[in-house]
Structure 1
Amino acid sequence: MKESLIDVKSLTVENLVQIFSLNVLTGENQLHKLITQPRSHRPGLEFVGHFDFFPTERVQILGRKEITYLHKLSIKERKLRIGNIVKYRPPCFIVTAGQEGLTYLTQYCIEEEIPLLCTNELQSTSEFILKLDNYMVKTLAPETAIHGVCLNVYGMGILIRGKSGVGKSETAHTLIGRGHRLVADDIVVLKKLSPRTILGTHDVKTKEFLSLRSIGLLNVVRLYGRKAFQDETRIAIDIELTTWQKDTLNNELEHESKFTEYMGVQIPHIEIQLQPGRDVAGLIEAAANNWLLKQQGYSAAEEFMKRLEAEF
């Protein structure tokens, strides 16, 4: 399995301004500041002087709760509370829409050269944070690229790998015809979102395209509609298509679990040998459904053995 690293993407305050259509209240010349942490932070304990675990490198969010608290303070107390936070110079402050009376906050941000931003949409702070963190986690996630095909089958991400010409794209085309969705063909970009989560997506250039030998390049959305494509999916199974090897497959009740590791995350691995007449797409569907049943605690092999034991 060949894996090639992709340069880690950088994220700046200006990127957030553009993506979320934020208003820049101050710090227009500081929008180049880099954001290195994938999650934001709402200062709470910091306002009362507790800084032992203050994540200074995170984007700081000020919602109605925080702004209301600051408004209630005396000028002297407010200066102390805000001053204790801005001196750490976080990448930026984002105030959720609907907050007023921010003149004092603007002044402190100007003095410390910290961008102060404000949302346009009248949405709750928690809703905005959910969207913001989701974007930052995906953008800053470690990435790698592999040669293969990625699909969403029955709601779960499937990687299909194998040597060039083995039939990966043809199998993907069959699965699309059965109602499943293409995510990426040829180059699959994998993002590590957490120690247990790998997200599969495309590299933009190949988005919606499927390459078939003897046919050429297909745009699956134009051919089969929007339902034939999905932008990203969480990877659940890694399937490798290999050439048929006589006498290597046995009718075992349950195969020993195998895994493929991507960026330190282990993904269940299945090898499917190819032979004329084998319904590879059907086997992949069966593997997907069987994996889902295992996640729910069901094992066909265990049930079968219980039935045998009940006979004696």
Structure 2
Amino acid sequence: MKLLTVEHLVQKFALKVLAGEEQLQKAITQPRSHRPGLEFVGHFDFFPTERVQILGSKEITYLHKLSLDERQFRIGNIVKYHPPCFIVTAGEEGLTYLTQYCLEEGIPLLCTNTPQPTSEFITKLDAYMVKALAPETAIHGVCINVYGMGILIRGKSGVGKSETAHTLIGRGHRLVADDIVVLKKLSPTTILGTHDEKTKEFLSLRSIGLLNVVRLYGRKAFQDETRIALDIELTKWQKDTLNNELEQESKFTEYMGVKIPHIEIQLQPGRDVAGLIEAAANNWLLKQQGYSAAEEFIKRLESEF
């Protein structure tokens, strides 16, 4: 998990700094923002003081309607808890009183460049903070988006991970990361795969060198991040170890406590590994819809007796 500061929000969302410019390095530790509503009327039992506080048109209109003394009292009750920052989405007009309080308490007061729907801004802000504050780890491998789903391709060095990814890109799929894949845990069931910025858009092929897939194949060949659905390990061919069972036993690889379905594909000259990965992706999608080819086959057999 990387350090997230108020300055990161200013840069990401092009926010104006109305007060507290010296405090932009304040750390943000909570991935969700908060709109103080009950707090303005005196209820602080569940006030999440460590969250970014959002003031939309409803909150600002309410404050404008108060008398000077009442407004100072309501705002004073909130700023004394020193939240990381305030972000106003309703424009900066008439915020002198709020600016003064934030200056006195050393709290950054930020404002969107133009007024915008508060709910939409919160959705974008929270999504950004969840990703930025998510626990993460890095693994050696390739991440590619196949048919809209994220797939990790792992295996020993030189087994052909990047070459397989290159074939998949040629078939219209998208590279996410090569060599170093950064995994972020967004929820107890969700792992996001992305790159480490340094390797963004690059694919390394033995005997060829480093390729920029966007320059070679266009923007459609690259995707910044993807939700991981399958973990595929490429291994060397082992005679008499493959079987032709109707349905393979479910196996999983665990990343930061999240189980990801695992498939092993053995390599042999002439074997269409990219095609097998496409088949695995499509089969996984069908299983999510409740379909099993093995079950249908067994039903057909049983119907003959």
TM-score per shorter chain, which class? over 0.9
For residue 105 of structure 1, the aligned residue among 84, 94, 98 is 98
The CA deviation at 1:114 is 0.9
What's the counterpart of residue 3 of structure 1?
none
The CA deviation at 1:121 is 3.0
The alignment status of 1:201 with 2:199, answered yes or no, reads no
Q: How do residues 82-93 of structure 1 correspond to structure 2 at under 5 angstroms?
A: 82-93=75-86
The CA deviation at 1:98 is 2.7
Separation of aligned partners in 2, 1:121 and 1:241 = 51
Separation of aligned partners in 2, 1:303 and 1:235 = 28
What's the counterpart of residue 232 of structure 1?
225
User: Residues 128-176 of structure 1: CA distance to partner in whole angstroms, max 9, x if unpaired?
Assistant: 1122112211111111111000100000000000000111111111101
Q: Percent identity?
A: 89
Give 1:262's aligned amino acid: Y
Which range moves more in the overlay, 130-139 or 258-267? 130-139
Separation of aligned partners in 1, 2:186 and 2:245 = 35
What's the counterpart of residue 265 of structure 1?
258
User: Residues 165-207 of structure 1: CA distance to partner in whole angstroms, max 9, x if unpaired?
Assistant: 1111111111011110111111111111111111111111111
Runs of 5+ unmatched residues, structure 2: none
What's the counterpart of residue 5 of structure 1?
none
Give 1:72's aligned amino acid: K
The alignment status of 1:302 with 2:295, answered yes or no, reads yes
Separation of aligned partners in 2, 1:269 and 1:222 = 32
What's the counterpart of residue 170 of structure 2?
177
TM-score (norm 1): 0.94
What's the counterpart of residue 242 of structure 1?
235
Separation of aligned partners in 2, 1:79 and 1:98 = 20
Asked if 2 retains the 8 angstrom alpha-carbon contact of 1:67 and 1:99, the reply is no
Separation of aligned partners in 2, 1:80 and 1:311 = 81
The alignment status of 1:78 with 2:78, answered yes or no, reads no
The alignment status of 1:167 with 2:169, answered yes or no, reads no
Asked if 2 retains the 8 angstrom alpha-carbon contact of 1:64 and 1:99, the reply is no
What's the counterpart of residue 6 of structure 2?
13
Which range moves more in the overlay, 153-162 or 250-259? 250-259
Separation of aligned partners in 1, 2:273 and 2:45 = 56
For residue 65 of structure 1, the aligned residue among 53, 58, 66 is 58
User: Residues 15-73 of structure 1: CA distance to partner in whole angstroms, max 9, x if unpaired?
Assistant: 21122111111111111211111111111121222222211111000000111111222
What's the counterpart of residue 155 of structure 1?
148
Runs of 5+ unmatched residues, structure 1: 1-7
The alignment status of 1:223 with 2:216, answered yes or no, reads yes
SS at 1:276 equivalent: coil
Asked if 1 retains the 8 angstrom alpha-carbon contact of 2:141 and 2:180, the reply is yes
Separation of aligned partners in 2, 1:54 and 1:300 = 52
Separation of aligned partners in 1, 2:229 and 2:186 = 14
Give 2:145's aligned amino acid: N
Give 1:195's aligned amino acid: P
Give 1:236's aligned amino acid: A
Which range moves more in the overlay, 93-102 or 29-38? 93-102
Asked if 1 retains the 8 angstrom alpha-carbon contact of 2:234 and 2:266, the reply is yes
SS at 1:172 equivalent: helix
Give 2:225's aligned amino acid: E
For residue 277 of structure 1, the aligned residue among 263, 270, 276 is 270
Separation of aligned partners in 1, 2:231 and 2:16 = 44
The CA deviation at 1:111 is 2.3
The CA deviation at 1:213 is 1.1
User: Residues 267-308 of structure 1: CA distance to partner in whole angstroms, max 9, x if unpaired?
Assistant: 111010111121110010011011111111111112222222
Give the superposed CA RMSD.
1.3
